[in-house]
Amino acid sequence: MAWGGDLNPTRVLRAYREGIFPWYGKNDPIIWWSPDPRLVLELDDFKLSRSLKKNIKKFTYKIDTQFVQVMQNCATTPRDGQSGTWINDDMIEAYEVLYGMQKAHSVETYREGKLVGGLYGLSIGKIFCGESMFAHQNDASKAAFAILVAHLKKWGYDFIDCQVPTNHLKSLGAKEIRREDFLNKLTTNCCEDIQTRWELDQEIMNFYGM
């Protein structure tokens, strides 16, 4: 869509409300994207496999306690078929400011007290804009995603913006839609922020036997 500008939190939040997000390489200018098609997850479409539901119990979880560490792990964890990362120091600094504004959030997965997986993104109205996830143990990121989906449903969110298609997210129930349809959904759901505290709900954790 565009290039240049800066990662001022006001600019970033305005961009997300218009369906635009920053995504660029280390030596590139800031590049702003609004892809077509767009990948979204309707919360009721989330696919919780039997194996994942079982593996969820292997971990413990926290919300918004190690936001920067989650971003750093997302930046440094190797990914099949990918080299490098768009999560550079400027991105981490900018999203840490948004975290301080309670606009950016993380869901963290732990095993024996050690951070082994997680995800982060932005809360825009009734939409969670997923940015990235990482796993150092099998299903650690998928488990964090399942915990996120359950909480978003209870809190009254509408959908997760997964941005660009990946087989990983499609396996969890995400689907591609036209950019025009995405922007219509965005307009309907981005204006009124949900007033809730981002913390674990014990009823949800009890559902998973935790």
Q: What is the pLDDT of residue 137?
A: 97
Cα–Cα distance, 146 to 140 (Å, whole number): 10
Q: For residue 50, what pLDDT band results from cuts at 50, 70 and 90?
A: very high
Lay out the sheet containing 175-177: strands in order across: 60-63, 104-111, 114-124, 127-135, 159-163, 38-42, 175-177
Q: Is residue 19 included in any domain, yes or no?
A: no
DSSP for the chain, written as a single string: -EE-----HHHHHHHHHTT-EE---TTSPPEEE--SSEEEEEGGG----HHHHHHGGG-EEEESSSHHHHHHHHHHS--TT--S-S--HHHHHHHHHHHHTT-EEEEEEEETTEEEEEEEEEEETTEEEEEEEEESSTTHHHHHHHHHHHHHHHHT--EEEEES--HHHHHTT-EEE-HHHHHHHHHHHSSS------S--HHHHHHTT-
Cα–Cα distance, 15 to 9 (Å, whole number): 10
Per-residue pLDDT for 84 more than 70?
no
Q: Is residue 157 included in any domain, yes or no?
A: yes
Which residue shows structure tokens 């609004």?
34
- What pLDDT digit, counting tens, does each position of 122-147 carry? 999 999 999 999 999 999 999 999 99
Q: Is residue 121 included in any domain, yes or no?
A: yes
Question: Across residues 180-198, what is the average pLDDT?
Answer: 92
Q: For residue 192, what pLDDT band results from cuts at 50, 70 and 90?
A: confident
Report the number of distinct structural domains present in the chain: 1
Among 71, 210, 203, residue whose Cα is nearest residue 150: 203
Do the beta carbons of residue 140 and residue 116 sit within 8 Å? yes
Collect all residues with Cβ–Cβ distance below 8 Å to 182 and sequence separation of at least 6: 19, 37, 38, 40, 161
82 vs 36, residue with greater confidence: 36
Q: Is residue 84 included in any domain, yes or no?
A: yes
Q: For residue 8, what pLDDT band results from cuts at 50, 70 and 90?
A: very high
Q: Is residue 24 included in any domain, yes or no?
A: no
Q: 127-135 and 114-124 as β-strands: parallel, antiparallel, unpaired?
A: antiparallel
Q: Please state which of the ranges 119-123, 137-141, 171-175, 190-194 shows the lowest mean pLDDT.
A: 190-194
Cα–Cα distance, 173 to 177 (Å, whole number): 13
Q: What is the pLDDT of residue 27?
A: 80
Residue 198 belongs to domain spanning: 35-207
Per-residue pLDDT for 193 more than 90?
no
Domain of 130: which CATH number?
3.40.630.70
Question: Residue 30 class from Cβ within 10 Å (0-12 exposed, 13-18 middle, 19+ buried)?
Answer: middle
Tokens of 207: 């559902």
Q: Is residue 1 included in any domain, yes or no?
A: no
Q: Is the pTM of this model over 0.75?
A: yes
Q: Is residue 166 included in any domain, yes or no?
A: yes
Question: Across residues 141-160, what is the average pLDDT?
Answer: 97
The mean pLDDT of the chain is: 94
Per-residue pLDDT for 117 more than 60?
yes
Q: Is residue 56 included in any domain, yes or no?
A: yes
